[in-house]
Amino acid sequence: MTRSFTDQHNHATPVRYSSDVAFSPSVKAVQSRKGSRRAYAMQEEAGGWATTIDEDLKRFIEAQTSVFLATASAEGQPYIQHRGGPAGFLRVLDGSTIGFVDYAGNRQFITSGNLAENAKAHLFLIDYAHRRRIKVWGTARVVEGDADLTARLMPEGYKARAGQVILFTVAAWDANCPQHIPQRFEASDVAAALAARDAEIARLTAEVTRLTASHGL
């Protein structure tokens, strides 16, 4: 069944499968030449990539403290911007929309300028501790001056100045295998684990001291 994704300039791009958002004819030609096209064709016939946010993906997204947002200018010049915040700064608003506050920064406005002329965008999320990464294709737009939406999405107590809101509409998403992802842990998680270890050592030391004293040793 052929569908189409429409950009902000109303240029409809017909696609047969959800993964066509990434697998262009050029990409498929390379896959054919390198021997992976058959496997991906079977995946397409089986239903292809998911196009909506399920509960598992929602939990993953809202647990992240970091995300990379890729955009491109009308001429195709790519740009990747990092955004971070406390868990929950990325908010799933419905089955196809992710929203977050774009905090005031260095005022280059490259992402804003790109989205003003090319709505196509990509989100890359990676959880190093669990060696999981998610790739999300879609479109994005900047929302300025919406105090209610900003307040809804601003993490409570987070000391950052809200600049604007970015709303990302999902077209398709895919999960990569964990191969080659280095396992790393959040500093706060490491600190909590060390604190728990130190508390247990202190408890055991106190118990040894008590037992030693009770036996007159």
- Residue 3 pLDDT: 52
**3-state SS string for 56-89:** HHHHHHHHCCEEEEEEECCCCCEEEEEEECCCCC
Distance from C-alpha of 99 to C-alpha of 166, rounded to nearest angstrom: 6
- Residue 12 pLDDT: 53
- Residue 7 pLDDT: 46
Q: Which CATH superfamily is domain 50-176 in?
A: Electron Transport, Fmn-binding Protein; Chain A (2.30.110.10)
- Residue 8 pLDDT: 45
Distance from C-alpha of 23 to C-alpha of 204, rounded to nearest angstrom: 58
- Residue 1 pLDDT: 45
Q: What is the block-wise mean pLDDT of the chain (217 residues), using blocks of 10 residues?
A: 47 74 96 96 92 96 96 97 95 97 90 97 91 95 96 93 96 86 80 91 92 82
